[in-house]
Amino acid sequence: MESTSFDNFGGVATRSGADPAAARTIFVSAPYEGTVSYGGGTARGPAAILEASRQVETRDDETGVDLEELSFALGPTVLPSDDPPDVYARRLEQAVRDVVGLGAKPFVLGGEHSVTIGAVRAVREEHGPVHVLSLDAHADLRDEYEGHDHSHACVMRRLLPGGGGTIVGVRSYSAEEARFAAGRKDVRLVSAREATSPSFDAAAFVASLPAKLYVTFDVDGLDPSVVSATGTPEPGGLRWWDALAILREVFLRRTVVGMDVVELAPVDTSRVSDFATARLVAKMLSYDALAGRENG
Ligand SMILES: [Mn+2]
């Protein structure tokens, strides 16, 4: 489980070497699953992503970016004891604050979705109001869930103050969440039906977002044909290229100050979801690098 068994994401020697202090992007592993309500296993997510990443071809065929030309490193693993989610959020917030303090961009590997709370708080401390773009099957707008207000089901609700949020790919939420969202100006839901329609314009959608973003990618936002190893897989999700068209525009046209990929719950019987998630992480690194180049 410890990240010390891996040298780096992708198993590659990057331009900056393995020294986190010199890296443009630093991974923080957050193997936390304190409030999972259905299928468990997200605590094994970060290790499964790193393990699968060693099989990902380093060159990205779409952008031509090679991971070996980039600058990223593995930072800390914030190991959970039996922390309730609010306590874990504070510990992760500190770890992400340390990464931001080095001048690097944090990339959190979850773990359940509640880990996003601490990460976003740390980047907002540095960058001011940051809008949260969530790719997720669920709205996560509950005020509390199973006794916790820092539950995975409450992530976006907790993070609306401080910059607002947009949830894309959403297709499962309660009547109370729908009412709440309808009455707020600082949250927008873009349904999976809309985002997968042939007429959906990713560029126009991204152009409507605020300039400064934190991107949280819950893998259940993807269709289960892409990633099925997750706690609550919902049919009818974003397909691979739907999601990537959005991400590419986001990295190229907006300022992304931090990101995470959460909710992979690896299974022993298939590597498909682990590999797709590792490739997703590599894609995000590639788009971010492309953005750095295009902006000089
Ligand atoms: Mn979700």
Who wins on pLDDT, 284 or 12? 284
Question: Distance from the CA of 12 to the center of ligand 1, in angstroms?
Answer: 30
The yes-or-no verdict on residue 183 having pLDDT over 60 is: yes
pLDDT on residue 38: 64
Distance 2 CA to ligand 1 centre (A): 25
219 alpha carbon to ligand 1 midpoint, in Å? 7
Alpha-carbon distance of 16 to 73, in angstroms, equals 8
101-105: which pairs have CB atoms within 8 A and are 24 or more residues apart? 102/20, 102/21, 102/26, 104/20, 104/23, 104/24, 104/25, 104/26, 105/24, 105/25, 105/26, 105/256, 105/257, 105/258, 105/259, 105/288
**Ligand 1 centroid – CA 111 distance (Å):** 12
* pTM for this model (two decimals): 0.95
Q: Mean pLDDT over residues 244-252, rounded?
A: 98
User: What backbone phi and psi angles, to 5 degrees, belong to 273?
Assistant: -70, -40
How many A from CA of 288 to the centre of ligand 1? 24
Ligand 1 midpoint to CA 218 (Å) = 5
The sign one gets for the Cα dihedral 101, 78, 169, 229 is positive
Distance 4 CA to ligand 1 centre (A): 28
CA of 207 to the centre of ligand 1 (A): 24
Percent of the chain clearing pLDDT 90 (strictly above): 85
SS (H, E, C) 79-112: CCCCCCHHHHHHHHHHHHHHHHHCCCEEEEEECC
Question: Of the candidates 225, 140, 154, which has an alpha carbon nearest to the alpha carbon of residue 189?
Answer: 140
Determine the distance separating the centroid of ligand 1 and the alpha carbon of 240, expressed in angstroms: 16
pLDDT digits (tens, 9 = 90+) for 135-176: 999 999 999 998 899 999 999 999 999 999 999 999 999 999
Give me ligand 1 centre to Cα 139, in Å: 7
Neighbours of ion ligand 1 (CB under 5 A): 136-138, 218, 220
Task: Report the sign of the C-alpha dihedral through residues 152, 156, 160, 164, in that order.
Answer: positive
Q: What's the CA-to-centroid distance between 296 and ligand 1, angstroms?
A: 35
Q: To which residue do tokens 């931090």 refer?
A: 258
pLDDT cut 70: percent of the chain above it: 94
Q: How far is the CA of 182 from the centre of ligand 1 (A)?
A: 20
- The CA distance from 238 to 260, in Å, is 17
CA distances for 128 relative to 121, 208, 268, angstroms: 10, 19, 42
Give the residue extent of every domain in the chain. Answer: 3-294
Largest CA distance in the chain: 49
Question: What is the reported pLDDT for 1?
Answer: 36
Split at pLDDT 50, 70, 90, the class of 74 is very high
Residues 6+ apart with CB under 8 A from 198: none
Whole-number Å distance, alpha carbon 233 to ligand 1 midpoint, is 8
Ligand 1 center to 137 CA (angstroms):
5
Please determine, looking at this structure, whether the domain spanning 3-294 carries the CATH number 3.90.1310.10: no
* Residue 190 CA: distances (Å) to CA of 61, 136, 199, 200, 263: 29, 10, 14, 10, 20
Classify strands 72-77 and 25-30 as parallel, antiparallel or unpaired: parallel
Write the CA distances from 180 to 92, 169, 175, integer angstroms. Answer: 28, 18, 9
Q: Which two tokens stand for residue 69?
A: 């030309």
Mean pLDDT of the chain: 93
Q: What is the 13 CA–ligand 1 centroid distance (Å)?
A: 33
